[in-house]
Structure 1
Amino acid sequence: MKNLSEMLKKAQEMQSKMGDMQAELDNVEVEGTAGAGMVTVVLTAKGDLKKVTLDPSLFTAEDKEVVEDLIVAAHAQAKAKAADVMQSRMKDLTGGIDLPAGFKMPF
């Protein structure tokens, strides 16, 4: 029974650490750029879009579709960086133990 109580205690500790990590990830920001820096987006590590910056040279009627595509590309880059941060933090939290493929965290 001692092993079971120790395992439950460790599970509770990990749950607490995961809650702390989730709160911390709200404050971690990643940046994605596209079009040689003409479009920049900032996301939280959870993937929430915080800011979009557009170079003024992009604002012509003919370029509207290009600007929209650049925003999507910059967002995709920032989202990928956010996923990398999440994976790195989870690896630190789990002591380097890889989680099973397809395992989703509740955030």
Structure 2
Amino acid sequence: MRDIMGMMGKVKEMQAKMEKLQEEITSMEVDGQSGGGLVTVRLTGKGDLRSLKIDPSLFKEDDIEILEDLIVAAHKDAKDKAEAMTAERTRELTAGLPIPPGMKLPF
């Protein structure tokens, strides 16, 4: 019985560590560059696009902000669709399995 209680304690400890790690990943932001710094994007640790910067030398128009907003919106649309597809496939895969409500798969 002691082994089971010890194991349960370790499971709870690991769960707490995983939750903390997920919070850290969510709050993390990462910059990526291409074209020698002509294009810069900032993503969260979960892959959400926070900002996009395009060097004005790549355009002859003055409407760079509109293009940046459109690119961010397109990224969000694609990401939302991918998440919906993943959720649907996960539901299909786990149909009939005794998985606790609210548990997100894949981990």
Query: TM-score, length-normalised on structure 2?
Result: 0.54
Aligned to 1:8: 8
Q: Is it true that 1:36 corresponds to 2:36 in the alignment?
A: yes
CA distance in 2, matches of 1:40, 1:48: 14
Same amino acid, percent of matched pairs: 46
Match of 1:19 in 2: 19
Deviation at 1:34, TM superposition (A): 0.5
CA distance in 2, matches of 1:105, 1:8: 23
Q: Which runs of 4+ in 1 moved over 6 A?
A: none
User: What is the Cα deviation at residue 60 of structure 1?
Assistant: 3.4
Matched with 1:57 is 57
Give the AA of the match of 2:30: V
TM-score, structure 1 as length reference: 0.54
Q: Distance in 2 between matches of 1:26 and 1:16?
A: 15
User: How large is the Cα RMSD of the aligned pairs?
Assistant: 2.5
SS in 1 for 2:46: coil
Unpaired stretches in structure 2, ≥5 consecutive residues: 62-66, 76-104
What runs of 5+ residues in structure 1 fail to find an aligned partner? 62-66, 76-103
